[in-house]
């Protein structure tokens, strides 16, 4: 919208410059004098009116075009800005410097101990999918990631397994490596 407004504004200004420079006089007979022609005066008036209207509309479009918000992707980003983190208790976004969550009012662990506090003892912290993928590839599997919600694991035997989270991908990797170790040792 802003580009169209700029083009209209420039076109309108050019039309105004041309309109102001139109000569509305014509030569009169033998005396060598010049008189105003009503038809040329009407053409000049029309050009000035249309050009000024186009300039005004162009200026409005430029004004509203610069206030337009940038396009936001429909898929929300999974990455948080570095100045925010998730509360390990209520999962709301809070500032990194916060010592108490403004939503659940619980005291927050320091940033360096944040991952340990998010996963209490006995709960396995989620691993990066890259670790599980590299483990499966090293065992001879083919791993593809056709969508954000799932991974496809093609075993050397031709069987396909699907993982819908990083945890399930880790479980597939651990199960397959244990099966491989069991068959290798037997």
For the stretch 67-125, pLDDT in tens is: 755 554 444 444 444 577 778 778 788 888 888 888 888 887 776 544 444 444 444 44
Single pTM value for the model: 0.37
Residue 56 pLDDT class (50, 70, 90 cuts): very high
Cite the beta strand spans of 87-174 per DSSP E: 93-95, 142-147, 150-154, 160-163
* Measured distance CA(14)–CA(35) in Å, rounded: 27
What residues pair up with 85 in beta bridges, in sequence order?
94
Number of domains in the chain: 3
Nearest to 25 by CA among 17, 35, 14, 15: 35
Beta strands in 2-149 (DSSP E): 25-28, 33-36, 84-86, 93-95, 142-147
What the block records as the tokens of 104 is 């659940």
Domain with 44 in it: 2-67
User: What does the angle CA 78 – CA 177 – CA 160 come to, to the nearest 5 degrees?
Assistant: 65
Domain-located, residue 162? yes
Domain co-membership, 100 together with 157: no
């Amino acid at each position: 919208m802003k580009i169209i407004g700029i083009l209209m504004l420039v076109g309108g200004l050019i039309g105004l410059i041309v309109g102001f420079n139109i000569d509305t006089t014509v030569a009169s007979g033998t005396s060598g004098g010049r008189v105003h022609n009503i038809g040329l005066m009407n053409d000049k008036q029309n050009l000035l009116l249309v050009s000024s209207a186009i300039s005004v509309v162009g200026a409005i479009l430029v004004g509203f075009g610069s206030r337009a918000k940038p396009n936001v992707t429909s898929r929300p980003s999974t990455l948080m800005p570095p100045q925010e983190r998730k509360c390990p208790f209520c999962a709301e976004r809070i500032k990194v410097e916060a010592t108490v969550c403004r939503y659940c009012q619980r005291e927050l662990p320091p940033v360096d101990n944040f991952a340990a506090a998010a996963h209490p003892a006995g709960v396995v912290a989620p691993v990066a999918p890259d670790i599980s993928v590299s483990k499966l590839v090293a065992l001879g599997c083919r791993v593809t990631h056709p969508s954000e919600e799932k991974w496809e694991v093609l075993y050397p035997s031709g069987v396909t397994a699907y993982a819908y989270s990083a945890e399930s991908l880790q479980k597939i990797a651990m199960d397959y490596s244990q099966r491989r170790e069991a068959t290798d040792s037997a």
